[in-house]
Amino acid sequence: MSISNQHDNRPFISDLLVKHSVAIEAVRSRIQADTNIGKELYNKGDNAKRYDDIWILRFVLSHKGNVKPAAKAAIRTMKFREDKKLNEVGDLRPRIQNHGDAIDRDRLRLRLSKLSSNRSKSRSMELKPLPGFALYDSFCGEHCTFQILPDTNRGLVVICDAGQIDMEGVIQNMTEEAMTEKYIYLKEAFFQVADEVTRRTGQLTKQMNLIDLGNVTWKELNRNRAYVRRDAKCAKALEDYYPQLLGTSFIANSPAWLSGVWSVFRSLFPKRVVEKVDFLPPLEKIIRARSKSSSRSSSSSSNDADHLNLLKPILRYISEEHLPVRYGGRNEQWPLPSIGSIYDGLD
């Protein structure tokens, strides 16, 4: 196993399906037994294929094998998807863009221009920005958020410099409904990415967030608590509809003041989201550990152990080669290409 893959401990779908086969079938039976809406939606069109064992598995895992709440969550999700017509939106992956990234905006603009000149209206629609993207993006500073897929055989990664978000601008100019709609389509796009990788590789694949707080002051965050509350409310509203999508949210460049107020802010977010928060060690500590490792003999069995142990939690999602240098990795590329640039199919 290569160094870049040795930390990839995603479970195999085949093993999970065998282990949870009884619970999966029990959830499906409850869906079919629900004459109010479950049975109707499950048997509508090609939904039986869409809501297959792998789809149901995510609900079983999220509810720790408890069939009754897993079935209820699955039925609610089916209704939600029906109401929002999410089964009809098509492939959203090419429309995933970075926020505050002029290069990525130019990429999509160029693609749309070429398609327009070729009169390919249907393809142009497929590449338009996701709902709410443009308005939210107008309140994002340079390199605010990168939504990337550094390894097409592993999960998607979101890197957000929270200090580049004009939180007050978002609250004053973007309604809660518009913000929720933005989150819905982005979540759906992320799920499409994770689901495709899961099925192709045979390993349960999730999303990783890296939230950089290095440019956020306590005064600024305290002043924009309305944004934090709304962000938490949106997360809570969509939590059950995309089970097993979020793996871990890592906090980078954690300021000293965060430890004192963390208990307050964590109460705003869903418990399952908070449980998935972890903190990256300071960059200086990683650099020192790497330097110490490099000074050892290359034949030493402990070579590279120090800094890799520090990075071990995040290396479950992204290799050291793909992790940006500023977060302790070896990737010097910046800015980073968006997921949409991989899937737009126009290169």
DSSP sequence for 82-98: HHTTGGGS---GGG---
What is the mean predicted confidence (pLDDT) over 27-35? 97
Q: What is the percent of the chain where pLDDT is above 70? A: 89
At residue 32, the pLDDT reads 97
328 inside domain: no
90 inside domain: no
Last residue of a domain, one of 230, 250, 280: 280
At residue 117, the pLDDT reads 61
Pairwise CA distance, residues 329 & 286, whole Å: 9
Flag the least confident range among 15-29, 186-200, 303-317: 303-317
**Statement: residue 146 has pLDDT above 60:** yes
194 inside domain: yes
At residue 222, the pLDDT reads 85
341: tokens are 């640039």
Given pLDDT bands bounded at 50, 70 and 90, which one contains residue 2? Answer: very low
Contact predicate 145/105, CB 8 Å: no
Instruction: Let me know whether 67 and 196 are in one domain.
Output: no
274 inside domain: yes
What is the mean predicted confidence (pLDDT) over 75-85? 98
114 inside domain: no
5 inside domain: no
Domain extent, residue 50, equals 11-84
In 45-91, the DSSP E strands lie at: none
Domains in the chain: how many in total?
Answer: 2
Instruction: Let me know whether 68 and 173 are in one domain.
Output: no
Contact predicate 147/101, CB 8 Å: no
What is the mean predicted confidence (pLDDT) over 127-153? 95
What is the mean predicted confidence (pLDDT) over 40-55? 97
At residue 67, the pLDDT reads 98
| Amino acid at residue number 221 | L
Instruction: Let me know whether 165 and 52 are in one domain.
Output: no
At residue 73, the pLDDT reads 97
Given pLDDT bands bounded at 50, 70 and 90, which one contains residue 119? Answer: low
Q: What is the percent of the chain where pLDDT is above 90? A: 68
At residue 284, the pLDDT reads 87
238 inside domain: yes
What is the mean predicted confidence (pLDDT) over 176-180? 95
What is the mean predicted confidence (pLDDT) over 79-98? 96
Per-residue pLDDT tens over the stretch 250-309: 999 988 888 777 777 777 777 777 788 899 988 888 888 877 766 664 545 444 567 788
Instruction: Let me know whether 270 and 159 are in one domain.
Output: yes
Pairwise CA distance, residues 91 & 72, whole Å: 27
Last residue of a domain, one of 280, 312, 338: 280
111 inside domain: no
HSE (side-chain half, CA atoms, 13 Å) at 54: 19
Contact predicate 88/178, CB 8 Å: no
At residue 1, the pLDDT reads 41
- When the pLDDT of each residue in the chain is averaged and rounded to a whole number, the result is 89
At residue 118, the pLDDT reads 61
* Top-confidence residue, 20 or 122: 20
Last residue of a domain, one of 84, 119, 145: 84
Instruction: Let me know whether 64 and 193 are in one domain.
Output: no
Instruction: Let me know whether 141 and 239 are in one domain.
Output: yes
At residue 298, the pLDDT reads 53
Instruction: Let me know whether 194 and 273 are in one domain.
Output: yes
At residue 110, the pLDDT reads 77
Pairwise CA distance, residues 182 & 163, whole Å: 20
Contact predicate 314/321, CB 8 Å: no
